[in-house]
Amino acid sequence: MARCSRCRQRKAKRQCPALGSDLCPLCCGRLREKELHCPPGCPFLTQHKPYQENKIIQKKRTFSEDVLQDERLNWLILNIEAPLREYAGQNPALTDKDAVLALEYAKEKVEKNRSRLLLSRDEGRVRNEAGEAILVILEQCRFQRKIIMLQDVERYTTEEKLKCLENVILGIKYLAHGRLAGRTYLQDLARRLDRLKEFSEQKKILTRT
């Protein structure tokens, strides 16, 4: 039996329609709907989907309970989502799947920097422009309290960055209900940020009067 076209170590037991080559089960699960645009007709995607959707719902509940109560993390999530809104506005063809791929790209880069190890699967990987924009935000974003003192301008830890990236990824998959080829999340994001912008402008007017 041939070797997996990705890891070159394990036996290739699954034919991947997205790659046009064979994968081992481990690489199939690792790449599925993360680095690959899996076609809806893929039998391995169909077989895995119910389990994955239930897993997403359970993880989303866990993450939401922690994040929604943390003003720091909410601020970072807002900044993470901003580049996705900008890219979606510039490119009507951008889908929820593209948003997930950008976030997964940024997440893997953050994880790699934390471990300081060069992952073999990063070699030759195509640069994701939206993912790179998210990485810039993660590096530059600082949390400032409402009453700002010098010591209150806080950097985010690697663990906080990873937690927020995972939360946004889960949120997209939860909203899309497995239909990542659409723009359910991106449209919801546009509405949320537009409302936030409108509220901020109204608040400025009320403050001046």
Is residue 4 assigned to a domain? no
Domain of 81, in residue numbers: 49-201
Strands (E), 18-176: 21-23
Measured over the CA atoms of residue 197, residue 99, residue 102 and residue 100, the dihedral's sign is: positive
Contact 37, 93 (CB under 8 A): no
Quote the number of domains for the chain: 1
pLDDT per residue as tens digits for the range 154-208: 789 999 999 899 889 988 988 888 788 899 999 999 999 998 887 766 654 444 5
In this predicted structure, the answer to whether residue 30 has a pLDDT above a threshold of 80 is yes
Establish if 119 belongs to a structural domain. Answer: yes
Is residue 91 in some structural domain?
yes
What is the predicted pLDDT for the residue at 57?
64
Asked if the structure places residue 140 within a domain, the reply is: yes
pTM of the model: 0.66
> What phi and psi, each to the nearest 5 degrees, are found at residue 148?
-85, 125
Asked whether residue 19 is domain-assigned, the answer is no
Residue 97 lies in a domain: yes
114 in any annotated domain = yes
pLDDT of residue 115: 60
Residue 108, token pair as written in the block? 């893997």
Give CA torsion, residues 85, 89, 90, 95, to 10 deg: 70
Flag whether 37 is in a domain: no
